[in-house]
Structures are given as structure tokens and as C-alpha cells.
Amino acid sequence: MQEQDSKIKKAIKIPPLITVKKFSELLNLSVSQVISELIRNKVMATINEEIDFETASIIAQDLGFETEEDLEISDSEVLSLEKLLEICKKESQSGKNLEPRPPIVTILGHVDHGKTTLLDNIRKSSVASEEAGGITQSISAYQVKKRNQTITFIDTPGHEAFSAMRERGVSIADIAILVVAADDGVRPQTEEVISYLKEKKIPVIVAVNKIDKPEANPQRVKQELSERDILIEEWGGKIICNEISAKQNTGIDQLLESVLLVAEVENLRADSKRDGLAVVLESHLDSHKGPVSTVLVKTGTLKTGQDITTGSVWGRIKKIEDFTGKNINSAGPSVPATLIGLNGTPDVNDTIQVMDKKMSVRLKSKIEAEKTITAKKEASRKKIYEAIDKNKIKKLDIVLKADSQGSLEAIKQIISSIGSKEVAVEYIKTGVGSITESDVKIAQSSNAVIFGFNAAATSVAKRIAEESGIKIKSFDIIYELVESVKDEMSEMLPPEIIRTDLGALKVLEIFKNGKRDMIVGGKVTKGKAVKKCEIEVKRDKEIIGKGMLANLQQNKNNVEEVKQGHECGITFEGKTKIEKGDTLVFYKEEEKKRKL
């Protein structure tokens, strides 16, 4: 009996998601038994379908097991951002070794509402004045101190084109500061941000900025926010609102106090003793350091000397720098850090995880297998492109190099929004770093245009490009690069044909009937007949042929045009045989270059 009780109370760890097959193996029961139990609980799932922890836990308990959520990562699992966030959420609720951690704050708002100036004021740097084109074009993170407590800030772009980067900023943050200009009110990007915040259920602090301006109207802003279910405390809601002037440094201390107050309520905690799990915020190729990645540690601790993997790259952490560039030995929860030692530049949004030797071998094998699959998919996609009728869709082949993965992502996102059913952009190669001779050689194979954002061409690359006639276009403002891409696409569009109807003539007589031309007489019934114009021949209201008005006579004199109501003779050039009673329609066509 005691043995039976021990079996009944056997404890098992269940991951956040698990297939029915793996679940049955975990329980050491047949798949049919598990499926039967699922059906009894009105859950219809097949052998290869996934069920969540809550469902699996209920089934396991019904079958006599004690359950616990498994927040560890399997040896062969490439961790997604979604699973990382789920692990952090579950860990903070029921994990062990939990300690308070700094809040991660993102500042969001419409472009030109003062977000960057606010960040600039908080961190006492000159980012706002140094940005090309006045737009935050990448993502970064840094920390500040208030009352001896640390706050981590994530900086995301405010321009409309960077919606994906803003949404990611919301996903990885604990608190969002919504900046709205007191002189402008709620704008399109403000509404977009509000929808993200509602969806992700992130705690919000409103910062009504630019209250120093004569036209400032904070009450109007609060009214507009209330209409969008953002109800501040003074209006009976729960959201803290601070009136500030980032430019005049007014209300900034109170705003930081608000952040600490919300953080205290949220009770933010993490397990600093476990291996670090982090999100890649940015990556670039440094000519001296090699691949450099800016990351934000979500839980655990990253240390120098650890083997790590992220996306399709891996390596050993040779060096860790904090956000000021100072060398540190480790980075714990909520700490932004720069890592050196990976064998390539990971994508923005990839997750960093620590590997042991066993995991390293399995993950590398899996990553290489995924690369092979991706390569096969790419080859298949290219075949599909080649099969498309070239007259229906044209391709602009480009090589795109940028200073960082964040810039690369932003550029590709904006280019993807260029709508055209006639011309498509095909990326022959994309990457981070300078434009090299290998980029030019790749461009040569398909006569591609090379675009660089804050990425200069090497002297060898320039020489090869000049010799082979390959265009290299470099920019330091994203929108100038995108406009150049649009111009290249526009050049590939067939011209727009603009037709202008001039007049019509009723054929009264046939004077000459040659093989390639005819001389006919008639009366202009509408508009005018113009020498060298195009002609449509109509018979019984149907177009039966086309030609050109080669010569025009009135009273046996050559003329340039004959107006309505007058008779004339014309020389018609074309294969169509005109008959008495036909109508000749006169028109001209002009080609006009099109732009996207």
C-alpha cells in the first residue's frame, strides 16, 4: 500500500508547452491513455499537438501525479523570446533564490514629442543633438540611479516606420512611460503604443511633455487619453501622470520617483544565481573587436568565460562591458551589457543562453541543420521567383550592408512597406559591417545595386565596383537610403501611357488604296485632325485597326490640322483597309515615367 501511495504522489516537472507524445513519455503511460484522459476533460488533442502547462497539470494530477512547472531549457532547445518572457514570468511567481531587480523601463511616444530629449536629460548625454536626421535610429539601454536605486532604460525609435522595434521594447519592459506632447496631443504613434500597452498589460506612467510651451494644454491631453481608456489618477483612474518639460528639466525627478513607486508595487524579482538569459538589443561588427552584441539580461547572471548561444551564432564570452564601456566580470538581472566573443552578429530579438558541453554539441548540430533547411527554402524561393513571368513582376536585386542588426531590421521593415505589384526587392545578401570586395563580387553575379547605411566601402571594393560598373550607394540617414531604393524600383516600372483624344472624321471617299497606305477624304465631325497623330479605325462602333495620320490636306494644301466642320484629305499609314462610312478617331499617346 505504501508503494502504491508513493507512486500516486510521484512529482513530475512539466514545461510550459509539451506535445501529447512527450507528455505520455513523461508520465510513463501509453499515448492512448493520455488522449483518453484529455477527451474526458473535453480537450481534443492529437499525438503531435502541444498542450499548455495548466492543461497538462490537471491531467497529470487526475492520473495521480504531483506537478511542478519546469522552467529549465532542454539540451537541444533554441530559446525563443516568447519562452524567455514566459520563464521570467513564472520564475518571478514561484521561482527559488529570488532577489529584487531594477525595473526595466521603456519610453514610448509619437515622433517629435520629446522622448529622446527626455532620455537625453535623464542620462546627461548628447544623443538628441547627434542623431542623423533627428530620429532615434537604433535601440540602446542604460541605467540611472535614483535614491540609490537603479533603473534600467530601453530606448526605442518613435518614428512610424519602427513599429516592430517599439512593440519589442514593450514586450521586454516592466514599465512603460508614455510621452505625449502638451501642445500636440494624442497622435497616430501614440495610439499604436496604447494598443501595445493594453495588449501586453504593461504598467504605464504618463508623461505630459512640453508644458513650458505657450500653446501647451495638458488638460486636453488627459481628456484625449481618457477617451482611449488611459485614465489617470486625478481623473479617477490608476495611472500616474507627470507634467514635465524635458527641455527645461522640469518634473524629471518626480517622474523617476513615479517609476520607483510603480516598481515597488510590481515587486520585480529574479534568480541571479541561475545561468543568465538575455535578449539581444543590438549587434554590429567592430573592425577591432569583431562581433559586438548589446544585450539586456532578463534573469540569471552572464559571466566572462561562459559558452553562450543566440540565434544561429555562438561563442565564449571574452569580455563584458557595462553601458558606460567599463569592463565588468558579470551582468545580472536587468543589466544592459555589451558582449564580445560570439562568432557572428546575432539578430535583434535573439535570446542569449549559456551552454554546457553537452548542450553545446547538440545546439550547434541543430543550428547547422536549421541553416541547411533555410538554405534549401531560399533555393526553392529563388526558383519560384525565376518561374514568375518576368513581364509581370520585375526584381530589384540589392546587397544591403548596415552598421548594426537593428539598422538592418529597420531598413528592411521600411522597404517591405513599399507597395508595388510590378517590382519586388530581392536581397542577394544582407549583413553588418563595411562593404567589401566579396559583396561587390556577389552583386556582379546578378547586377545588383549595393546599399550601405553607415557602412563605407573598402578601397578594394570601390575599385572592383568601378571596374565592373556596380553601383554602391552609401547613406547615413535611413530615409534617404529608402528613397534611393524607391527610385531604383521606379526606374524598372513600365512607363504610364497617357492618351489624349483629339477628334474624329467621317470617311466620305477613298482616293488611293495602297499596300501600306491609303488616301481618303472626309469631314471632321468632332475636335480636330492633327498631322502625325495616331488613328483608330471604327466600323459599326467597333475598332478594327490602327494607324497613323502621315499627311493632312485642306483645299489641296498641306496643313498641320483641320478643325471640326471642315472637309479634308488624309494619308493613312497602316495595314487596315478603310471603307466609306468608317469613323477615324484621332489621338496622341505620351509616355510618362512612374514613381512609387
pLDDT in the model for residue 367: 58
Q: Which of 545, 543, 567 shows the shortest CA–CA distance to 556?
A: 567
3-state DSSP: the chain helix, strand, coil percent, rounded to 5?
35, 35, 30
Q: Which residues contact 195 (CB under 8 A, 6 or more apart)?
A: none
pLDDT in the model for residue 73: 62
Q: Pull the grid cell for residue 371.
A: 541553416
Q: Which residues contact 30 (CB under 8 A, 6 or more apart)?
A: 24
In whole angstroms, how far apart are CA 252 and each of 141, 182, 256, 400? Answer: 18, 15, 6, 40
Report how far residue 350's alpha carbon sits from residue 81's, in angstroms, rounded to the nearest whole number: 7
DSSP H helices in 356-500: 357-387, 405-416, 437-446, 459-468, 478-492
Q: How many residues are given for the chain?
A: 596
> Do residues 574 and 580 lie in contact, with contact meaning Cβ atoms separated by under 8 Å?
no
Report how far residue 127's alpha carbon sits from residue 501's, in angstroms, rounded to the nearest whole number: 58
Report how far residue 332's alpha carbon sits from residue 98's, in angstroms, rounded to the nearest whole number: 12
pTM of the entire predicted model: 0.64
Report how far residue 423's alpha carbon sits from residue 596's, in angstroms, rounded to the nearest whole number: 10
Domains of the chain plus CATH, in order, are 2-70 (no CATH), 102-267 (3.40.50.300), 388-492 (3.40.50.10050), 496-592 (2.40.30.10)
Q: Pull the grid cell for residue 359.
A: 548542450
Q: Which of 593, 590, 347, 348 shows the shortest CA–CA distance to 486?
A: 593
Q: Report the DSSP beta bridge partners of residue 526.
A: 504
> Do residues 301 and 339 lie in contact, with contact meaning Cβ atoms separated by under 8 Å?
no
Q: At what angle do helices 188-200 and 163-172 cross, to 10 degrees?
A: 30
Report how far residue 505's alpha carbon sits from residue 536's, in angstroms, rounded to the nearest whole number: 11
- DSSP symbol at 494: P
- The helix (run of H) or strand (run of E) holding residue 538 is strand 534-539
Coil, helix or strand at residue 26: helix
How many CB atoms neighbour CB 486 within 10 A? 18
Q: What is the pLDDT along the chain (596 residues), one digit of tens a residue?
A: 334 444 446 788 887 778 889 888 888 899 888 888 888 888 888 888 888 788 888 888 888 888 877 766 655 556 778 888 888 888 887 767 899 999 999 888 877 777 778 888 887 643 333 444 433 344 468 888 888 899 999 876 544 445 555 566 678 889 999 999 999 888 887 888 888 888 888 899 999 999 999 999 999 999 999 999 999 998 889 999 999 998 888 999 999 999 999 999 999 999 999 999 999 988 888 878 889 999 999 999 999 999 998 887 889 999 999 988 899 999 999 999 999 999 888 888 889 999 876 555 555 555 565 555 555 555 555 554 554 444 467 889 999 999 888 788 888 888 888 878 888 899 999 988 889 988 999 999 889 999 999 998 988 889 999 999 999 999 988 889 999 999 999 989 888 899 999 999 999 999 999 888 999 999 999 999 999 999 999 999 899 999 999 999 999 899 999 999 999 999 999 999 999 999 999 999 998 888 88
Report how far residue 7's alpha carbon sits from residue 402's, in angstroms, rounded to the nearest whole number: 59
Report how far residue 227's alpha carbon sits from residue 206's, in angstroms, rounded to the nearest whole number: 14
